[in-house]
A and B are shown apart, each in its own frame.
Chain A
Amino acid sequence: MKLLGRLIVRLVAVAIAVSLATFSLLSAAPGDPAAAKAGFAATPERVEEIRSELGLNDPFHVRYADWVTGVVQGDFGTSVLNEQPASKLIGDAMPHTVELMILAQVIALAVSIPAGIYSAQRPNGWFDRLTGAMSFGMLATPAFVLGIYLAFIFAVRLEWLPAVATDLPGPFDDPVENLRQLILPALTLAAGMIAIYVRLLRTDLIETLQQDFVLMAQSRGYSRRRVLWRHAFRPSAFSLLTAAGLATAGLLGGALIAETLFAVPGMGRLAVTAIFTEDYDVVMGVVLLLSLAFVIANFIVDALYAVLDPRVRHGNR
Chain B
Amino acid sequence: MATVETNAAPIPEAKSFAPERPKMGVVFWTSVSWILLVIAAAVLADLLPLRDPDALGIRTGEIQRFESPGVNAWFGGDGQGRDLFAQIVHGARPAMVLSAAVTLIGGSLGVLIGVVAGYVRGRTDAVIMGIAEIMFAFPAIVLLFAVGAIWGITMAILIPVMAVLAVPSYARIVRGVTIAVAERDFVDAARAMGASQSRVVIKELLPLVALPAIAFGFLGFGLVIATEGALAFLGLGLEQRTWGSLIAGGQGLIREAPHLALIPATAMFLTIMAFNYVGDGVRELIDPRPIVVGRKRRADGPRPTTASASDALLSIRDLRTSFPTPGGVVTAVDGVSLDVRTGRTLGVVGESGSGKTMLLRSITGAFPVVGVQREGRVVVDGTDLLSASPASRSAMLGNEIGVISQNPLSALNPVRTVGSQLVEVMRVHRAISKAAARARAIELLEQVGIPRPGRRVDMYPHQLSGGMQQRVTIAIALANEPRLLLADEPTTALDVTIQDQILRLLASLGDEYNMAVVLVTHDLSVVRGWADDVAVMYGGQIVESGPTSAVFGDPQHRYTQALLESTPRLDLPIHSRLAAIEGQPPSLVAPPAGCRFADRCAGADERCRSEVPVLERLGSVEFRCWHPGQGEAR
Q: Which residues of A line the B interface, CB within 8 A?
A: 14, 17-18, 21-22, 25-26, 28-30, 119, 122-125, 128-129, 131-133, 135-137, 139-145, 148-149, 151-152, 156, 163, 199, 202-203, 206-207, 210-213, 215-223, 226, 230-231, 234-235, 238, 249-250, 252-253, 256-257, 260-261, 271-272, 275-276, 283, 287, 290-291, 294-295, 298, 308-311, 314, 316
Contacts A29-B150, A252-B142, A311-B460 given; does A14 touch B137 at CB 8 Å: yes
Q: Please indicate the chain A residues that have their CB under 8 angstroms from the CB of B226 in the complex.
A: 142, 145
Q: Please indicate the chain B residues that have their CB under 8 angstroms from the CB of A149 in the complex.
A: 262, 265
Cross-chain contact A18 with B428 (CB below 8 angstroms): no
Cross-chain contact A142 with B414 (CB below 8 angstroms): no
Indicate if B32 sits at the interface (CB-CB under 8 A).
no
Cross-chain contact B147 with A216 (CB below 8 angstroms): no
Indicate if B425 sits at the interface (CB-CB under 8 A).
yes
Q: Please indicate the chain B residues that have their CB under 8 angstroms from the CB of A14 in the complex.
A: 134, 137
Contacts A145-B229, A210-B15 given; does A261 touch B21 at CB 8 Å: no
Q: Give Cα A25–Cα B151 distance, bound, in whole angstroms.
A: 10
Q: Give Cα A14–Cα B393 distance, bound, in whole angstroms.
A: 55
Indicate if B197 sits at the interface (CB-CB under 8 A).
no
Cross-chain contact A291 with B258 (CB below 8 angstroms): no
**Min CB–CB distance B298 → chain A (angstroms):** 14
A152's partner among B137, B236, B262, B425 (CB-CB below 8 A) is: B262
**Min CB–CB distance B427 → chain A (angstroms):** 11
**Min CB–CB distance B203 → chain A (angstroms):** 35
Indicate if B235 sits at the interface (CB-CB under 8 A).
yes
Question: 11 new A-B pairs (CB below 8 Å) besides A128-B20, A219-B403, A230-B424?
Answer: A132-B20, A136-B273, A141-B273, A145-B265, A156-B254, A206-B17, A218-B397, A221-B396, A257-B234, A287-B142, A310-B417
Q: Give Cα A307–Cα B463 distance, bound, in whole angstroms.
A: 16
Q: Give Cα A295–Cα B345 distance, bound, in whole angstroms.
A: 59
Indicate if B429 sits at the interface (CB-CB under 8 A).
yes
Q: Give Cα A139–Cα B251 distance, bound, in whole angstroms.
A: 21
Indicate if B412 sits at the interface (CB-CB under 8 A).
yes
Cross-chain contact B414 with A213 (CB below 8 angstroms): yes
Q: Please indicate the chain A residues that have their CB under 8 angstroms from the CB of B147 in the complex.
A: 25
Indicate if B609 sits at the interface (CB-CB under 8 A).
no
Q: Please indicate the chain B residues that have their CB under 8 angstroms from the CB of A137 in the complex.
A: 273
Cross-chain contact A275 with B149 (CB below 8 angstroms): yes
Q: Please indicate the chain A residues that have their CB under 8 angstroms from the CB of B393 in the complex.
A: 221
Most buried by A among B140, B146, B367: B146
**Min CB–CB distance A255 → chain B (angstroms):** 9
Indicate if B272 sits at the interface (CB-CB under 8 A).
yes
Indicate if B276 sits at the interface (CB-CB under 8 A).
yes
Q: Which residues of B line the A interface, CB within 8 A?
A: 14-17, 19-22, 134, 136-142, 145-147, 149-151, 222, 226, 229-230, 233-236, 247, 251, 254-255, 258, 261-262, 265, 268-269, 272-273, 276, 280, 292, 295, 361, 364-370, 393-399, 401, 403, 405-407, 410-417, 424-425, 428-429, 460, 462-463, 473, 476
Cross-chain contact B139 with A291 (CB below 8 angstroms): yes
Most buried by A among B262, B272, B366: B366
Q: Give Cα A312–Cα B122 distance, bound, in whole angstroms.
A: 24
Cross-chain contact A217 with B254 (CB below 8 angstroms): no
Cross-chain contact A256 with B137 (CB below 8 angstroms): no
B234's partner among A17, A139, A145, A272 (CB-CB below 8 A) is: A272
Contacts A25-B147, A219-B365, A294-B137 given; does A210 touch B230 at CB 8 Å: no
Cross-chain contact B403 with A220 (CB below 8 angstroms): yes
Cross-chain contact B414 with A235 (CB below 8 angstroms): yes
Q: Give Cα A123–Cα B138 distance, bound, in whole angstroms.
A: 35
Cross-chain contact A132 with B146 (CB below 8 angstroms): no
B151's partner among A30, A206, A220, A249 (CB-CB below 8 A) is: A30
Cross-chain contact B17 with A290 (CB below 8 angstroms): no
Cross-chain contact B397 with A219 (CB below 8 angstroms): yes
Which of chain B's residues has its CB closest to A144's CB?
B233
Which of chain B's residues has its CB closest to A122's CB?
B295
The contact sample of 18 A-B pairs, CB cut-off 8 A, is A26-B150, A129-B20, A144-B230, A144-B247, A145-B265, A202-B20, A203-B19, A212-B407, A215-B361, A216-B411, A218-B364, A220-B476, A221-B393, A252-B141, A253-B139, A256-B142, A272-B234, A311-B460
Q: Please indicate the chain B residues that have their CB under 8 angstroms from the CB of A216 in the complex.
A: 366, 403, 405, 411-412, 473
Q: Give Cα A25–Cα B417 distance, bound, in whole angstroms.
A: 50
Cross-chain contact A276 with B235 (CB below 8 angstroms): yes
Q: Please indicate the chain A residues that have their CB under 8 angstroms from the CB of B14 in the complex.
A: 210
Q: Please indicate the chain A residues that have their CB under 8 angstroms from the CB of B234 in the complex.
A: 256-257, 260, 272
**Min CB–CB distance A223 → chain B (angstroms):** 7
**Min CB–CB distance A254 → chain B (angstroms):** 8
Which of chain A's residues has its CB closest to B400's CB?
A221
Most buried by B among A14, A218, A308: A218
**Min CB–CB distance B546 → chain A (angstroms):** 28
Cross-chain contact B416 with A234 (CB below 8 angstroms): yes
Cross-chain contact A140 with B262 (CB below 8 angstroms): no
**Min CB–CB distance A288 → chain B (angstroms):** 10
**Min CB–CB distance B302 → chain A (angstroms):** 19
Contacts A25-B147, A230-B424, A291-B142 given; does A219 touch B460 at CB 8 Å: no
B415's partner among A132, A139, A275, A310 (CB-CB below 8 A) is: A310
Q: Please indicate the chain A residues that have their CB under 8 angstroms from the CB of B413 in the complex.
A: 213, 217, 231, 234-235
Q: Give Cα A135–Cα B146 distance, bound, in whole angstroms.
A: 30
Cross-chain contact B410 with A141 (CB below 8 angstroms): no
Which of chain A's residues has its CB closest to B20's CB?
A132
Q: Please indicate the chain B residues that have their CB under 8 angstroms from the CB of A316 in the complex.
A: 462
Q: Please indicate the chain A residues that have their CB under 8 angstroms from the CB of B460 in the complex.
A: 310-311, 314
Q: Give Cα A308–Cα B463 distance, bound, in whole angstroms.
A: 16
Q: Give Cα A163–Cα B142 distance, bound, in whole angstroms.
A: 24
**Min CB–CB distance A130 → chain B (angstroms):** 9
B137's partner among A219, A249, A271 (CB-CB below 8 A) is: A249
Q: Give Cα A204–Cα B583 distance, bound, in whole angstroms.
A: 38
Q: Give Cα A148–Cα B247 distance, bound, in whole angstroms.
A: 9
Q: Please indicate the chain B residues that have their CB under 8 angstroms from the CB of A310 in the complex.
A: 414-415, 417, 460, 462
**Min CB–CB distance B255 → chain A (angstroms):** 6
Q: Please indicate the chain B residues that have their CB under 8 angstroms from the CB of A261 in the complex.
A: 233, 251
7 cross-chain pairs, A with B, having the tightest CB-CB distances, nearest first? A132-B20, A220-B398, A221-B397, A253-B141, A219-B364, A275-B149, A142-B226
Cross-chain contact A215 with B368 (CB below 8 angstroms): yes
**Min CB–CB distance A266 → chain B (angstroms):** 14
Contacts A29-B150, A219-B403, A253-B141 given; does A272 touch B235 at CB 8 Å: yes
Cross-chain contact A156 with B258 (CB below 8 angstroms): yes
Q: Please indicate the chain B residues that have their CB under 8 angstroms from the CB of A210 in the complex.
A: 14-15, 368-369
Q: Please indicate the chain B residues that have their CB under 8 angstroms from the CB of A135 in the complex.
A: 20
Cross-chain contact B411 with A212 (CB below 8 angstroms): yes
Which of chain A's residues has its CB closest to B248's CB?
A144
Q: Give Cα A287–Cα B142 distance, bound, in whole angstroms.
A: 7
**Min CB–CB distance B2 → chain A (angstroms):** 15
Cross-chain contact B272 with A142 (CB below 8 angstroms): yes
Q: Please indicate the chain A residues that have their CB under 8 angstroms from the CB of B280 in the complex.
A: 136
Q: Give Cα A90–Cα B262 distance, bound, in whole angstroms.
A: 33
Cross-chain contact B398 with A222 (CB below 8 angstroms): yes
Q: Give Cα A124–Cα B396 distance, bound, in whole angstroms.
A: 32
Cross-chain contact B22 with A140 (CB below 8 angstroms): no
Q: Please indicate the chain A residues that have their CB under 8 angstroms from the CB of B139 in the complex.
A: 249-250, 252-253, 290-291, 294
